[in-house]
Amino acid sequence: MIRLILLYLVYLKQKIKGLGHETYNGFTIVFSFKDSEISIGKSTVINSSSMSNMVGLFQRTIIVARYGGKINIGKNCGISGSTIYSMKKIYIGDYCTIGANCKIIDNDFHPLEMEYRCQGLNK
Q: To the nearest whole number, what is the mean pLDDT of the chain?
A: 78
Higher-pLDDT residue of 30 and 15 is: 30
Position 120 pLDDT exceeds 60: no
Higher-pLDDT residue of 8 and 98 is: 98
Position 86 pLDDT exceeds 70: yes
* C-alpha dihedral, 22 to 79 to 57 to 28, nearest 10°: -40
Segment 19-71, tens digit of pLDDT: 567 777 777 888 888 888 888 888 888 887 766 666 666 778 889 998 889 99
CA-to-CA distance for 57 and 75, rounded, in angstroms?
A: 23
Side chain identity at residue 102, one-letter code: C
CA-to-CA distance for 43 and 27, rounded, in angstroms?
A: 18
Assign residue 43 a region (left: φ > 0; alpha: ψ between -120 and 50; beta: otherwise). Answer: left
Higher-pLDDT residue of 66 and 90 is: 90
* C-alpha dihedral, 15 to 75 to 83 to 123, nearest 10°: -50
Higher-pLDDT residue of 101 and 117 is: 101
Nearest 5°: phi and psi at 78? -130, 130
Position 13 pLDDT exceeds 60: no
